[in-house]
Structure 1
Amino acid sequence: MADVTVVVATRNRADELRRSLRRHHAPVIVADNASADDTPEVAEAAGAEVVRLPRNLGAAARNIGAERAATPYVAFADDDSWWAPGALERAVRLLGSHPRAALLAARVLVGEDERLEPVSAQMARAPLGRPGGLPGPAVLGFLACSAIVRRDAFLGVGGFSPVLHFGGEEELLALDLAAAGWGLAYVDELVVHHHPSTANRDPAARRRREARNRLLTAWLRRPLPAVARATAAALTTRDGRAGLADAARVLPALALARRPVPPAVEAARARLAGR
């Protein structure tokens, strides 16, 4: 496809890339986070353009891939996911006909039995309504492996934060796009397949990172009462307390990076939390 590039951020996932890269239907840029295995070679052999990063940038590696892309739209995929045939073509047409939209989130089907991803089900319920100018329900979050973005809008807000690395990194980007006046929408007719890898999985560590990143996102973009609520919620679980400790180590360096979103965006975010 001439209008979209698929960007995959990965690290030490050669086996997953062998299975997934052949399923893409657009040019692919693989941003390799300093893999110690043959991930870059596997990606090159599959025909992808490979960016070999000198260190692990986490989710921010996707920014490098987007910068390299020469297309107006960038679709993200994980090393264990791919867009269904025809989905990218449809997404490009929708973005072309909805100039207010900066990001479309697809429906995610998980595994061989194609179970509906719970996050997709939540977005389909349209808790933020269906505003005009968007091709589906408005959202303030998404799964990175199922998002296609308007490249200039994505890069214009700085892309994914290097501070968050991986684990719940999507919310901060969603808030930044919304704060910049862009719309984000869930489109049920767009489909992404996700066959989660079991390699290098540490569920406890991931929960701790996600707790950390929820707190950092709240600090960076939400009003102080919301920060206080997020902190109180973190204190109620073991993983939350560990994430709070991790976040506290980073906060001094982020003192000048705090930029609360406009009231309308915060009101929508609070609505998602039931407030």
Structure 2
Amino acid sequence: MSVVIPAFNSARFIRAAIESALREAETGEVIVCDDGSTDATSEIARRCGDCVRVLELPHVGNPAYARNAGVQAAKFDVVAFLDSDDVWMPGKLERQLTVLLHDPGIAFTCTNAYRRSSPNQPVQDMDLLLGPEGGSSPALLDALILDNRVITSSVVARRAALMEAGLFSTSDDAAGVEDYDLWLRVVAEGGRFVYIDEPWLVYRDWGTSHRDSISAMQTCENVLAALTRLEQRYPSVAVSHRRTIRRRRALVHTEMSRAARLQGDRRLAREMAVKALQSRPLFIDAWKSLAAALVLH
């Protein structure tokens, strides 16, 4: 299979990521998609072996472009994603391929991860990135609409399913949720995915990353935009999953109301709470958020 690693100024981490991919017997090639790094990222990657290809791209600052370039350049029918600052656990690809290849209707599989919150933290001291979900089971579009439990560095996917869904969105209103936007489209196209509730990678959750440049409020707005695109592109999905989409909108607007309140913007907090209630009139959390925004200080 092809392993796609987007990278930007990742000299500190890239070797460990590549080596974790090359340890897997199922890895046929590693494609490092360098988003115009100014450090030694490409040079380090090239020294990791003949199986490693480096695509030197002009700097854009959006990992969607790099991942898309990698998928388009892939030689194999199955593609795995790995961020340049994450590492896989041994046996990951075998575990997921067993599930993926068992059923041609499965478009991709994903797993849980260990969360590394400091540079030298040992695995045994790490928390899980996602809470318990009840093991490996086919997931429905409703579940994905309500909660994105897909860690991109854990994804092993059929390349054809990614291509048919249109790859990662590079639009500004998909920033920070470009992966979620794609998973929604893959499933809306009829593909299924399986979440394996086992930690098969170490996810770096310290220092800085691309997502740190996107505010919580902007991320919420982009989730809403992803839902709107889903409805526009797949009208039948919009009809059959209307209640779930409205529920997610209520959850996101309530989150935005809380964020605005914490920022001291009570007007925006009220506005977001009202929008949540327009989607879900009996949503208690939205009423609580509205009440908190109305309280005089």
Normalising by structure 1, we get a TM-score of 0.72
Identity %: 26
Q: Is the 8 A contact 2:81 2:156 kept in 1?
A: yes
Q: CA deviation at 1:55?
A: 2.9
Q: CA deviation at 1:218?
A: 2.3
Considering only aligned residues, what root-mean-square deviation do their CA atoms show, in Å?
3.0
Q: CA deviation at 1:118?
A: 3.7
Distance 1:200 1:84, change over 3 A: closer
* Correspondence for 2:82 among 69, 77, 85: 77
* 1:214 maps to amino acid: V
Q: Is the 8 A contact 1:12 1:35 kept in 2?
A: yes
Normalising by structure 2, we get a TM-score of 0.67
Q: CA deviation at 1:20?
A: 2.3
C-alpha distance in 2, partners of 1:183/1:103? Answer: 7
Which secondary structure state, in structure 2, belongs to the residue aligned with residue 79 of structure 1? coil
Distance 1:116 1:74, change over 3 A: farther
Which secondary structure state, in structure 1, belongs to the residue aligned with residue 66 of structure 2? helix
Q: CA deviation at 1:68?
A: 0.9
1:38 aligned residue? 40
* Superposition map of 1:261-272 within 5 A: none
Distance 1:156 1:103, change over 3 A: same
Q: Is the 8 A contact 1:58 1:166 kept in 2?
A: no
| Pair 1:175-2:202 in alignment | no
| Pair 1:155-2:163 in alignment | yes
| Pair 1:50-2:54 in alignment | yes
Which secondary structure state, in structure 1, belongs to the residue aligned with residue 12 of structure 2? helix
Which secondary structure state, in structure 2, belongs to the residue aligned with residue 6 of structure 1? strand
Q: Is the 8 A contact 2:14 2:45 kept in 1?
A: yes
* Superposition map of 1:89-168 within 5 A: 89-111=94-116, 112-114=121-123, 115-119=126-130, 121-122=131-132, 124-125=133-134, 136-138=137-139, 140=144, 141=148, 142-163=150-171, 164=173, 166-168=175-177
Q: CA deviation at 1:209?
A: 4.2
Q: Structure 1: any 5+ residue segments left out of the alignment?
A: 127-134, 246-275
Q: CA deviation at 1:187?
A: 1.4
| Aligned pairs, number | 230
Distance 1:206 1:237, change over 3 A: closer
C-alpha distance in 1, partners of 2:255/2:204? Answer: 31
C-alpha distance in 2, partners of 1:65/1:204? Answer: 23
Q: CA deviation at 1:94?
A: 1.9
Q: Is the 8 A contact 2:9 2:37 kept in 1?
A: yes
**Which of structures 1 and 2 has the bigger CA Rg?**
2
